[in-house]
Amino acid sequence: MKTRLIFNSIILGILLVYGTAFSQADKKPNVVYILTDQWRSSALGYAGDPNVKTPNLDKFSKESVNFTNAVSVTPVCTPHRSALLTGRYPTTTGMFLNDTYLPSEELCMAEIFKAEGYNTAYLGKWHLDGHGRENNVAPERRQGFDYWKALECSHDYNHMPYYENNNPEKKYWEGYSPFALADDAKMYMANHAKDQKPFLLFISIATPHFPHDSAPKEYKALYPKEKLILNPNVPKEIAEKVRVELQGYYGHCTATDAAIGQVLDKLKDLKIDKNTIVVFSADHGEMMGGHGLRPFTKQLAWDESIKVPFLIKYPKIGKNKGKAVHAPINTPDILPSILGLADIAIPNTIEGENLASLIKSPNESVDRAALLLNIHPFTSEFKYPEYRAIRTKQYSYIKTLDGSSKLFDNKADPYQLLNLYDNPAYAMLQNDLESKLQMALNKIGDDFQPKEYYLKKWNFVLDKSKNAIDYWSFDKGNGVMQTPKLK
C-alpha cells in the first residue's frame, strides 16, 4: 500500500510539473508596454546621441526590433494616448486636445486583452480622463484596466501622487517616481508570473518631460553643461538656455533608463521574458531648441517633435534580435500590431495597420507612409498653423491651410535645414507625396478643415486665456469635463 501511495505521489508530482510547464507554454504571451513622456527618438545611446547615457535601453535595442522612424500621430500627450489605446485616429475619436475624456464607448487595449483572458494593470500617468489632473480616475473610467496605481497627470517626480485600485485616498510614490513605478511593476510581475492567465502591464512613466531641473542630482551631474554637444539646427543665441534644459533632460533620461533596466532584468529573473512582448516607446518628442523653438515645444511636424523611440521584443524573436525597420510605424498601428503578435483577432473598429509580419520579418528596404495630424494646436503652440503631413522612411511632406508647405529629404538632411518644396528637381516626388497624403486623409474621412471646424464638430470650448481645455478649474471645485460629442 505504501509503495502504491509513493508511486501515485510521484506520478501526481510529474503531472503537476509538466502540466504547469505545458500551460505556461500554451498560454498567450504577456505584454509589458513601457510608455515614457516627451522622450524624443534621438536622445538614446543606441540612436547615436553623443551625449546621453542609456546603457539598459542600448542593451535592450540589441534584443529587440528597432523601428527607427516611429512617429506620434499627433505629437502631444492625450491625442497620442487615445490613439494608442484605441488604434484609431484623432479625427475619428475627437481626441485631439489635451485634458479631454476618452469616451467609455471606445473599445480600448485593456478591454480587448481582458476579453482574451488577460489580467490587466496600469501604473503611472493616464491623461485620458478629463476630470482634472489630480482627481481620481474612477474605476468605471479606466477602460478595462483592473490593477491600478495611477493618476491623470502630474510631473512632480519627487512627490508624485497616485490612486490605488478602489481606494479614493490620494497617495504618493516614495522617492523618484520612475524607480517607484519600476518597483511596483516588479512586484506585479512576480505576483502574476506563474498565473494560468497572461497579463497586460502598462507602465506609464512621466519622464523626461519637463520640469528638467527635478532630475536626480547624481544623474544631472553626469552632464556638465559646457560639454553638451548641440544639434546644428539649434541657433547660437539660445544655446546656453538649451544646455541648461538638456542637462536635466538627459539626467531624467539616464535615471529613467536605470528604472526601465530594473523591469527588464526582473522579467529575466522570473524566467518569463521569453513569453512576453515588451515595448519601449514615448508619446511624443521635444524640440529642445531645434529650429530656434524653445525647449518643451512639441505638437509641430519637425522630426524632433514627431519621432519617438520604438523597440519591441516578442517571443521567438531569435535571429531578428537587433534588427532595424526603417518604415514608419504610426501610433494607431501599435495596438493592432501587438494583437497580431499575440494572435488575437483585431476588432473592426481599429484603423491602424497590423505590422506584425514586418516585426517578425524585419526588412530595411520596406517603406510606408505614416499620416501625421495637428487638428488644433493649443496652449503655447496655438500660434502655429494646423497641418497634415506624411512621413516615409526618407521624406517628410507637410501641408498647412495658410499655403506654407515643407518637403525634406531626411536622409540627406537629417536636421531638416533645406526645404525642397516647389524645387523643380523634386516635382515628381512632391506629387507622389501629395497623392499619398490625400489617400491617407481619404481613408480616415478627413478633408482638412480649419481648426475651428473641429471644435464645433466635437463640441469643445477652449479657455481663451490659455487656448486650452480648462483642467485647472477642477482644483477649485468648478471644473467642467469635456468629451468628444458630435453636434
H helix runs in 69-216, sequence order: 77-86, 90-93, 109-115, 177-192
Of the candidates 223, 26, 249, the one whose C-alpha atom is nearest the C-alpha of residue 117 is 26
Q: What are phi and psi of 60, to 5 degrees?
A: -65, -35
DSSP 8-state class, residue 487: -
Strand order across the 387-391 sheet: 370-374, 387-391, 395-400, 405-409
Instruction: Say which amino acid occupies 431.
Output: N
Between CA 457 and CA 484 the distance in angstroms is 9
Between CA 175 and CA 172 the distance in angstroms is 9
Between CA 320 and CA 395 the distance in angstroms is 26
Nearest 10 degrees: Cα torsion 162, 165, 166, 169: -20
Cis peptide before 211 (omega within 30 of 0): yes
Between CA 148 and CA 46 the distance in angstroms is 32
Lookup: cell for 368: 510606408
Residue 432 DSSP SS3: helix
Which of 77, 108, 153, 253 is an active site residue? 77
Helix and strand counts by DSSP (H, E) for the chain: 13, 14
Find out whether 372 and 306 touch, Cβ atoms under 8 Å: yes
Residue 405 DSSP SS3: strand
Between CA 102 and CA 105 the distance in angstroms is 8
Residue 359 DSSP SS3: helix
- The residue written with cell numbers 522570473 in the block is 270
Lookup: cell for 248: 536635466
C-alpha dist (Å) from residue 295 to 214, 286, 372? 16, 7, 21
Q: Reply yes or no on whether 127 is catalytic.
A: yes
Which of 80, 108, 127, 192 is an active site residue? 127
C-alpha dist (Å) from residue 388 to 91, 226, 339, 384, 439? 11, 38, 28, 13, 12
Q: Reply yes or no on whether 253 is catalytic.
A: no
List residues with catalytic annotation.
Answer: 77, 127
